[in-house]
Amino acid sequence: MTVRENEGLEATLLRLKEERDEADRRYNEALTALDRAALRVPEFPHPPPAYDEHQITPLNQAWDLAAAPPAGGGLKGRLAAFVWRIVGPPLQKQTTFNSLLVDHLNRNVAAHRETQRAIESVIALLRGQVNDMLAFNSRLLVFLQQITLYVDTTGRRAEGQALVVNGALNGLAGDLAKRWESLIAREQRFEARVAQLGGAHEELRALVGISQQAAMAAKREIERLMSTSNFATPNSQSTPNSQFPKPKAQSLTSPLDSYKYVGFENEFRGSQEAIRARLESYLPIFEGASDVLDVGCGRGEFLDLLKARGVSARGLDLNHEMVEVCRARGLDVTEADVVSYLDDVPDASLGGLFAAQVVEHLQPEYLLRVLDLAFHKLRPGSPIVLETLNPACWTAFFDSFIRDITHVWPLHPETLRYLVLASGFTGARIEYRSPVPPQDKLQGVGAADGAADLVETFNANVDKLNARMFTYLDYAIIGTK
């Protein structure tokens, strides 16, 4: 049974009944036509009468006229000889003719006998074959007549089974209905409890937020006091006026060699079109945002995408040549390190922060400072996206990470996620990106006779190696303040 699209159950049942009635009508018409076309016993001809041999024996006995010249002398002999000369030749011809005719008749008697017997045999054989054909047709018609009954009984059995199944389903539906009512009651009680917990959770969240803000404020105040007071460690040789060390600004290259890293980007990271295609999937995260900061904007691919979407954004990069490349296209880009730049930005003034392939260039203490400043400078609800190479994928580590001499520290996905959460962001999740192409992964083997276990073990080891070596080349931490 097939249910057509947008067809109700009643319409489907009606259509199936009409199709079944039409099939029954055609079947009955075909069966009637077959019955009418059945063979009937024809009128066979009678065998020909037996060959008339009544005169054969007399002809064999009387054909010889005994025509011979007379013998003897005297008047009587001469008279007989005279008469023989007159009637002898015709009699001899008649005797010859009779001999030939009788021989011909004797020769054809046997042939006529065999012909008559053959005709009788053929007629008997044909009669037997026709009777067999009629018997077969009769049995075939009876068989076809039984098909309908057989199908009907089979359908009844299926209907009986369906009734049993329907009964079981009705019982199950009743039981499910009771359980459903019980679940609804439980759900209502659960929702009431969830509502209570939700209120408590909001209060707790507010308290945590206040505590977090107080802790951050205390931390900043301690850093300010330590930077303005006389501070020295017991083992330090610094003077009493030495200040608390700040994280040093990190530059990827010296100003004179900035062009070399631009060339490195073009050679190994990919064309601007390819990078735009890769970064385009981040746009929904910043939909409706404003004042987005692209840290380490490089050649400005993501700034181009944000600009095309109508999202106000600015870039930041230490590489002078890359800054000039962006400014040549009319992009708002500043040449500075991120810590110094964020120190001068008012709190809660940014609507989002994006950094692609940047954090792996930072020392750990510098990265922690960047995350702290980002939390203070972003408005509540603003997103932060940090994309970096995935060192858990051996291909990414050995093929990409160690190729770039400006890379400082590989960050495991779980490590970077923890640092983002520890800096105050909520809902930070890991999003893996840029999977290794299938053709670059280890390939399994096909099963062979007698080697199924070996193949299964080998392929399991291949899967394990692929999970370590050929997973995702990049990942991104996506969090929200």
Structural domain includes residue 371: yes
Domain range for 33 is 16-172
Structural domain includes residue 296: yes
Highest mean pLDDT among 124-133, 143-152, 345-354 belongs to: 345-354
Residue 16: pLDDT band with limits 50, 70, 90: confident
Domain C-terminal end among 114, 146, 172: 172
Adjacency order of strands within the sheet including 426-435: 333-335, 313-317, 292-295, 352-356, 383-389, 472-480, 426-435
Same domain, 292 and 414: yes
Whether the predicted pLDDT of 321 surpasses 60 = yes
Same domain, 165 and 276: no
Structural domain includes residue 366: yes
- Which residues touch 295 (CB under 8 Å, ≥6 apart)? 316, 338, 353, 354, 355, 358, 370
What CATH number is given to the structural domain containing 320?
3.40.50.150
Question: Considering the entire predicted model, what is its pTM?
Answer: 0.47
Same domain, 295 and 146: no
Same domain, 285 and 427: yes
Same domain, 289 and 431: yes
Same domain, 152 and 276: no
Structural domain includes residue 187: no
Domain C-terminal end among 124, 150, 172: 172
Q: Mean of the per-residue pLDDT values for the chain?
A: 80
**Residue 141, SS3 per DSSP:** helix
- Which residues touch 72 (CB under 8 Å, ≥6 apart)? 80
CA distance 8 to 12: 6
393 dihedral zone (left: phi>0; alpha: psi -120 to 50; beta)? beta
Residue 152: pLDDT band with limits 50, 70, 90: low
Whether the predicted pLDDT of 353 surpasses 90 = yes
Domain C-terminal end among 136, 152, 172: 172
Structural domain includes residue 381: yes
